[in-house]
Amino acid sequence: MSKAVDSRTDRPESKIRFSTSWSYAPAPETAKATIAPRYDLFINGKFVTPAKGKYFATTNPANEKKLSEVGEASAEDVNKAVKAARSAYDKVWSKMPGKERGKYIYRIARILQERARELSIIESMDGGKPIRESRDVDIPLAAAHFFYYAGWADKLDYAFPGRTARPLGVAGQIIPWNFPLLMAAWKIAPALATGNTLVLKPAETTPLTAMKLAEVIRDADLPPGVVNIITGAGETGAALVNHPDIDKIAFTGSTEVGKAIQKALAPTRKHYSLELGGKAANIIFEDATIDQAVEGIINGIFFNQGHVCCAGSRLLVQESVYKTVIGKLQDRMETLVVGDPLDKNTDIGAINSKIQLEKINEYLEIGQKEGANLWQTSCDIPSSGYFCRPALFLNATQSHRITQEEIFGPVVAIQTFRTPAEAIEKANNTPYGLSGGVWTDKGSKIFKITTKIQAGVIWANTYNKFDPTSPFGGYKESGMGREGGLHGLAPYVELN
Amino acid sequence: MPLSAPSLPHSPTIDQVGVEERVERLQKRSIKKASKVHALKLALSMIDLTTLEGADSDGKVRQLCSKAKHLHDAMPDLPHVAAVCVYPTLVACAKQELTGTDIKIAAVATGFPSGQYPRSTKLADTRFAVEEGADEIDMVISRGHFLAGEYAYVFDEIAAIKDACGAAHLKVILETGELGTLDSVRKASDLAMHAGADFIKTSTGKVQPSATQPVTLVMLEAIRDFYQATGKKIGMKPAGGISTAKISLQYLVMLRETLGEDWLTPDLYRIGASRLANDILMQLMKERTGAYQSGDYFSKD
């Protein structure tokens, strides 16, 4: 384990005492979830053993115990999966009327709803996120994406009026570990609706709900080869990206890997869409509804342990309300429950992996060395597993690395500004451009400010709101292409 | 012309959507086992056991006071309720019944529930209740004047009633069901606290909606801001509509996560209710015995 960092737990701006005589007893989710000891690769409608017979373990980050093991797909397996997808595309899926495709997608959505409880438990066990979020956000939203795109399957002529939308062919899809099932839904649903077949690779630390989704797809009776799900790490992903018979790559993950993919694909005919990192500014103006803005800061940076590409990881507060905001924010943070992801009262679960925890702790040290003041809450954290107390950096500056680089953890860097112009300049002074937040009670100001921020999604007086009908994606180094909504169909079609 | 400061303390604006989301999140707290028993007993000790009917009589009030003293004697280790709450003419009867106990007597006054009476009548109403032995006065604000923007009138009236209360504690009922917006709830809360309220209270119970969780959260946040600014602890009393143990736990979770340890006491938090006590008693018995009992095992007063 990495060494503990220094922290101050006093709150000079507040007199409220939160260590209470009444604390919440454990309230664990007790339903049973079935996790097989081993999952094979899902290719051509069947679970098959990997060609080289290799498997790797996936662990529960809350207790470091092994949950299961999954197949490690080699280049040979990737080839097999792409071939299956090609054959399904040529023989079945591209010829099937949209109305029929839609029926299959609706079926997936319904089965996901039926198995929602089990899926949320597995999502929390494999990835560390609190059950409150997997139950109320991840799984319902994943089902909603399938429902939404199922509706488009037979209406593509209306999505692109006057033009004919043709599928691209076989899509290779690589997804991250922060929203495993939800990202799979974001990728698979529009691809199927537009008539593509696909090979999906989940992240190596969170493969379990993807394998459960493979079971769902099998049970939904999808034609073999339309959806193939193969597990593995970076090498498997690279084999998929570089496979000559892939027509499109859809990637969500780090900007670093995104750039490598872009380089690899530049000399090819392959289409691609990338959803990469972010360092969003959440801007609090003095005329904001402060108590609700504080809640928005909490939702912005502590949702999913801060493992969110669109997290509000930079907080810009107008100087005139700085003390009030910080006082209230620290009060609110003191009430956050950090611990067992399966406890219904947990607000912040386990950091996804040891590597990620080490990276976060490194940034906590870097920030202090740079001269920012680290403050963390006084809550207890479990002695085993990967946990991090929610943190904020006071007096961060634009020149600090903690302000410039994506930490991907429950850490917010706080700066002040004096005028709207200064807020806009600071918000845009980043290579990223995925998201942002604006808090003011003045409607006209919302329109004025949001149009000047270069980001794909900007929330006004709320944060981290997702809906299948709303496009999502980045400016600048945060990526290209949009997922969700009508816009999310475009990266999977060619228009004639 | 001399300059004058605005009569109203600067009240922050409130975003209703944000408040409702926060409430929804607080409602997701799961209170189990030991923490549930602890909280239910705490809730019992915070109840202002209330009867406010035109038909109330000495006989009815005696029954109520008896319930206040003997919630359910079959179960040991139960607290008693914080107070009984009655009309001014019934204070003397309650006083007789509760002498020698720690149970407080609260009287609604100032032309409850409408408050549409001259100030002299309201002051006389208050003084009468205090003289009869009320420990606490639950007054209503003049909502008509408040909504007409006559904040100074409302402020002065609260201050005058506070004065008339003498040693008795003053609870100021905002009647939030008639205020229309959370912005007004916040403004009225600030007004009442600055004018001398010891407690602020949501409702009379005679107007729908009475207490709601979004309104209560806004009032708790007003109390918190007032405390941070002045160091003065103001109490909170949601009243009306809190009829089940489950809902009372949600209110306590909200209290705990907004104002913390210092407010988890009947000195600073009350629940105005008539039916709540029996539902809590049923839940406590269920925790003890593992089975729900018939309502007929608990006295209905």
The pair of three-digit structure tokens given for residue A257, joined into one six-digit string: 């890997």
pLDDT in tens, B34-44: 999 999 999 99
Q: Are B52 and B85 in contact (CB under 8 A)?
A: yes
Q: Would the CB atoms of A292 and B256 count as touching at under 8 Å?
A: no
Read off φ and ψ for residue A471, nearest 5 degrees: -70, 150
CB contact under 8 A, B32 and A18: no
State how far residue A323 is from chain B, nearest Cα, in angstroms. 12
B13, B22, B34 member nearest A295 (Cβ)? B22
pLDDT tens digit string along A105-156? 999 999 999 999 999 999 999 999 999 999 999 999 999 999 999 999 999 9
Interface A-B: count of C-beta contacts within 8 A = 87
8 Å CB contact of A292 and B19: yes
d(CA A61, CA A358): 13
Rounded to two decimals, the ipTM of the complex is: 0.94
Angle at A291 between CA A470 and CA B272, to 5 degrees: 115
Catalytic residue check, B15: no
- Would B48 be classed as within a structural domain? yes
Q: Which two tokens stand for residue A188?
A: 């698979």
Tell whether A296 lies on the interface with B, counting CB pairs under 8 A: yes
Residues of A in contact with B256 (CB under 8 A): 20, 22
Please judge whether A295 and B21 are an interchain contact, meaning their C-beta atoms are less than 8 angstroms apart. Answer: yes
Contact state of A461 with B18 under an 8 Å Cβ cutoff? yes
Query: A341 vs chain B: nearest CA distance in angstroms?
Result: 14
Contact between B260 and A462 using a beta-carbon 8 Å cutoff: no
Please report the pLDDT score of residue A3 as a whole number: 38
Q: Closest to A19 (Cβ–Cβ): which among B22, B252, B261? A: B261
- CB contact under 8 Å between B30 and A291, yes or no, is no
| Domains, in order of start, for chain A | 38-276+475-495 (3.40.605.10), 281-460 (3.40.309.10)
Smallest Cα distance from A16 to chain B, Å: 6
Q: Whose structure tokens read 């990967």?
A: A386
Cβ distance A18 to B260 less than 8 Å, yes or no, reads yes
Smallest Cα–Cα separation from B182: which of B20, B8, B6, B21? B20
- Say what the pLDDT of residue B7 is: 46
Pairing type for strands A248-252 and B199-201 reads unpaired
B34–chain A Cβ distance below 8 A for any pair: yes
List the end-to-end C-alpha distance of chain A, in Å, as a whole number. 56
> HEC string of A366-432?
HHHHHCCEEEECCCCCCCCCCCCCCEEEECCCCCCHHHHCCCCCCEEEEEEECCHHHHHHHHHCCCC
Is residue B62 in some structural domain?
Answer: yes
Question: Would residue B21 count as lying in a domain?
Answer: no
Q: Residues B138, B198, B279, B301: which is the catalytic one?
A: B138
Q: Is residue B20 one of the residues assigned to a domain? A: no
Nearest to A132 among B28, B34, B38 (CB): B28
For residue B14, the chain A residues in CB contact (below 8 A) are 289, 291-292
For residue A375, list its beta bridge partners: A8, A392
Domain that holds residue B231: 32-292
Q: Which of residues 6-25 of B touch A (CB under 8 A)?
A: 12-15, 17-19, 21-22
- pLDDT tens digits in sequence order for chain B, 301 residues long: 455 544 454 789 999 999 999 999 999 999 999 999 999 999 999 999 999 999 999 999 999 999 999 999 999 899 999 999 999 999 999 999 999 999 999 999 999 999 999 999 999 999 999 999 999 999 999 999 999 999 999 999 999 999 999 999 999 999 999 999 999 999 999 999 999 999 999 999 999 999 999 999 999 999 999 999 999 999 999 999 999 999 999 999 999 999 999 999 999 999 999 899 999 999 999 999 999 999 999 998 8
B29–A345 C-beta distance less than 8 A: yes
Residues of A in contact with B287 (CB under 8 A): none
A175-234 pLDDT, tens per residue? 999 999 999 999 999 999 999 999 999 999 999 999 999 999 999 999 999 999 999 999
CA dihedral B121, B127, B128, B130 (to 10 degrees): 150
Measured in angstroms, the CA of A457 and the nearest CA of chain B are apart by: 19
Apex A256 CA angle, A253 and A261, nearest 5: 75
B129 touches chain A (CB under 8 A): no
Q: Show which residues of A are catalytic.
A: 275, 309
* Domain total of chain B: 1
- Residue B11 belongs to some domain of the structure: no
Q: How far apart are CA B97 and CA B85, in angstroms?
A: 13
CA distance B179 to B14: 14
Residue of B nearest to A25 (CA): B35
**Is A19 part of the contact surface with chain B (CB cutoff 8 Å)?**
yes
Residue B203 inside a domain? The answer is: yes
Asked if residue B65 belongs to a domain, the reply is yes
**Nearest residue on chain B to A132, alpha-carbon basis:** B28
pTM for this entry: 0.95
Interface contact flag, A24 B31, Cβ < 8 Å: yes
Nearest to B224 among A16, A26, A136 (CB): A16
Q: Is residue B19 domain-resident?
A: no
Q: What is the CATH number of the domain that holds B243?
A: 3.20.20.70
Determine the pLDDT at residue B301. Answer: 80
Question: What tokens does A199 get?
Answer: 């090979």
Alpha-helix residue ranges (DSSP H) falling in A253-391: 255-265, 290-302, 322-334, 354-370
pLDDT tens-digit profile, chain A (496 residues)? 333 444 445 788 889 998 778 999 999 999 999 999 999 999 999 999 999 999 999 999 999 999 999 999 999 999 999 999 999 999 999 999 999 999 999 999 999 999 999 999 999 999 999 999 999 999 999 999 999 999 999 999 999 999 999 999 999 999 999 999 999 999 999 999 999 999 999 999 999 999 999 999 999 999 999 999 999 999 999 999 999 999 999 999 999 999 999 999 999 999 999 999 999 999 999 999 999 999 999 999 999 999 999 999 999 999 999 999 999 999 999 999 999 999 999 999 999 999 999 999 999 999 999 999 999 999 999 999 999 999 999 999 999 999 999 999 999 999 999 999 999 999 999 999 999 999 999 999 999 999 999 999 999 999 999 999 999 999 999 999 999 999 999 999 999 8
